[in-house]
Amino acid sequence: MSRIPCNVNKDLLPLYVDDVCSEESKAMVEEHLAGCRKCQDYFDALREGTAEEKMKEEREEFLSEEKMNREAVSVIKSIKREISKGRTKRTAVTVAAVLLVLFVLEGLSGSYIGGWLGEIPVFDTRLKTEDVRVIEMYLLENGYLYISVEPDKKCGMYYTCNVIETFTEEEGFTGEYEGYFGLENIPLDWDSIPIRKLSCIFPLSRRVKEDDYGNIKEREDSVIYLMGKGGERIPVWEKGQEVKKAPPEIEDRARKAIEKEDAEMEEKLRKGEAGVLDVINNVYTIAELESQESH
């Protein structure tokens, strides 16, 4: 599934806010906002009528980061040219220096390895799907799907998303929705406590307000994927698949997690720290850590 670049998305956002862009553009913007915190903040600022001076500062900051990204790519390309000239020893030192700088940047900002840089194999911190085992899967009384996994390798982070519309080059947006989750290990995240077990609770459908006229659309997942290194993904659940009903202890565990996260999300919405798309795409999670029961 592809996602439009941030700069293209920001160009579309004013049109999206004024509701003057095409349905295809709306769908692309919404897909991007679901997975990009910075663009979501930019969208919230546009919608709330932030002062022009503030918007200018945010735009300059965004362009500055884009410039840093281009410069990093330029350095990597230069290294490849050095390799082709046979300067192996010198290049090895340069590569080590660049890797160190980029990992330090990741440790400081968390924006490089988790973004475009994560698509380069050496920076891809996601665990392979083969290193993550599904150990539980239940259907809750409320219709939500409960999935638990255990990693075979050390990891300290996870990522999730839900009811995202699929996109193909042949068909464009297909009208089918999917959810996904995965585990990753950031090498410089020294403070993180390794995850022993991760439980994800997927609301398999969401009601979405489609326009200003109050029209409602139901988004329903067709498949839930486990994502892994290199963009590999394997289906863990597919629509129509029979799943056992959750036992009482799982129902109770899930209920507490849902109540807790709903209360936190409601507070974030009240403070303007979250938007509607955060609610739509939210997956409830319970991460059991090696040194404590849950987090």
Name which of 11, 6, 2 is nearest 37 in CA terms: 6
Supply the pLDDT for residue 135: 97
Q: Which two tokens stand for residue 89?
A: 């020893």
Among 58-72, 99-113, 140-154, 209-223, the minimum mean pLDDT is found in: 99-113
Name which of 217, 193, 218 is nearest 203 in CA terms: 218
pLDDT in tens, 31-46: 888 888 888 888 887 7
> Would residue 237 be called left, alpha or beta, if left means φ above 0 and alpha means ψ between -120 and 50 degrees?
beta
Output 47 or 209, whichever has higher pLDDT: 47
Residue 67 banded pLDDT, cuts 50, 70, 90: low
What three-state secondary structure class fits 60?
A: helix
Is a pLDDT exceeding 60 seen at residue 150?
yes
pLDDT in tens, 88-137: 556 566 656 665 555 555 444 444 444 545 556 667 889 999 999 999 99
Eight-class DSSP state of 126: B
Q: Which two tokens stand for residue 274?
A: 């979250």
> How distant is the alpha carbon of residue 284 from its chain centre?
14
- Average pLDDT for 71-96: 57
- Average pLDDT for 217-237: 92
Is a pLDDT exceeding 70 seen at residue 54?
no
Q: Report how far residue 219's alpha carbon sits from residue 239's, in angstroms, rounded to the nearest whole number.
A: 13
Q: 33 Cβ partners below 8 Å, 6+ apart?
A: 9, 39, 40, 43, 275, 277
Eight-class DSSP state of 85: T
Average confidence score pLDDT of the chain: 78
Output 239 or 207, whichever has higher pLDDT: 239
Q: Using CB atoms within 10 Å of the CB of residue 60, give its burial: 0 to 12 exposed, 13 to 18 middle, 19+ buried.
A: exposed
Q: Report how far residue 48's alpha carbon sits from residue 50's, in angstroms, rounded to the nearest whole number.
A: 6
Q: Report how far residue 32's alpha carbon sits from residue 37's, in angstroms, rounded to the nearest whole number.
A: 9
Is a pLDDT exceeding 60 seen at residue 249?
yes
Secondary structure, 3-state, 13-28: HHHHHCCCCCHHHHHH
**Alpha helix ranges (H) inside the chain:** 6-17, 23-35, 37-48, 52-84, 88-109, 248-271, 276-280
Residue 292 banded pLDDT, cuts 50, 70, 90: low
